[in-house]
Amino acid sequence: MTFAEFQKLGHLSRQDIYLETFRQNRKSIRIKNEMTAVKNLGLIFDATLRISNNKGFQAMTMRDLSRETGLSMGALYSYFSSKEELLEMLQRQGRNVTRQILEERINVEKDPSTRLRAAIRTHIYLSEIMHPWFYFSYMEAKNLKNGEGQKAIASELYTEKLLADILKQGKDEGVFFMPDHQLTASIIKAMLQDWYLKRWKYAKRKVSVEKYTRLVLAFVEAFCLKTSLP
């Protein structure tokens, strides 16, 4: 599947993400008009990602966010009570979307090699579409407090475990031949992260998302399979 095909089939809309965020936080958001709330959540989320990925979330002030969104300070506090709550909302919603789409793409496949390809493609393509959030999530996870910090760690381990389970399935079925499925999953996870954490490097070298995906797949298949699949 190409990146363009994934975009068409993924049904991933920012509007859907903002709408889901509103519905999940309906009790705490003081704006009850759904259309207005969804529109302003989009402004808030997009501005937060832009500012944070430029100078860091902790350095971002509410005045920065007000200026960037065009919303007053009072209007901003109608959606969250603090910067910490905003951070948690952003992290939580991104995790939910990522997990949902990964599971949808992987669970339709049966054999381990196809499932592994689907997991790798989906993760890289998702991180391309949601690049600001992926980068933000990784960089700001350390600032999450209490249970949210543990959830961020669990999310990181979730993707690795998902890959490890597929690799173990393939090893048990005699499809994969790597010596350590858990360590292999960790290495694959690092390659997936490299795409969104060091995107500037690949942009400078004119490496497209499809070219990077093909290369990761070739590396993984060469290591895991007796013979690389076409």
Of 64, 81, 98, which residue constitutes the final position of a domain? 81
Task: Assess whether 203 and 144 both reside in one domain.
Answer: yes
Task: Assess whether 56 and 75 both reside in one domain.
Answer: yes
What was the pLDDT predicted at 13? 63
Query: Total structural domains in the chain?
Result: 2
Of 81, 104, 139, which residue constitutes the final position of a domain? 81
pTM of the model: 0.86
> pLDDT tens, 55-76?
888 899 999 999 999 999 999 9
Task: Assess whether 76 and 91 both reside in one domain.
Answer: no
Residue 130 lies in a domain: yes
Rounded mean pLDDT, 88-112: 89
What was the pLDDT predicted at 5? 84
Residue 2 lies in a domain: no
pLDDT over 50 at 228, yes or no: no
Contact 44, 65 (CB under 8 A): yes
What was the pLDDT predicted at 98? 87
Task: Assess whether 77 and 91 both reside in one domain.
Answer: no
Rounded mean pLDDT, 3-17: 73
> pLDDT tens, 150-196?
777 777 789 999 999 999 999 999 999 988 999 999 999 999 999 99
pLDDT over 70 at 227, yes or no: no
Residue 6 lies in a domain: no
Helix (H) or strand (E) holding 44: helix 34-55
CB contact set of 16 (below 8 Å; sequence gap of 6+): none
Task: Assess whether 222 and 197 both reside in one domain.
Answer: yes
Task: Assess whether 69 and 108 both reside in one domain.
Answer: no
Task: Assess whether 126 and 191 both reside in one domain.
Answer: yes
What's the mean per-residue pLDDT of the chain? 88
What was the pLDDT predicted at 171? 92
Of 81, 113, 137, which residue constitutes the final position of a domain? 81
pLDDT over 90 at 89, yes or no: no
Task: Assess whether 94 and 76 both reside in one domain.
Answer: no
Instruction: Name the residue with higher pLDDT: 14 or 228.
Output: 14
> pLDDT tens, 40-51?
999 999 999 999
d(CA 123, CA 102): 7
Weakest-pLDDT range from 9-13, 133-137, 158-162: 9-13
Sign of the dihedral defined by the CA atoms of residues 123, 10, 39, 77, in that order: negative
Residue 3 lies in a domain: no
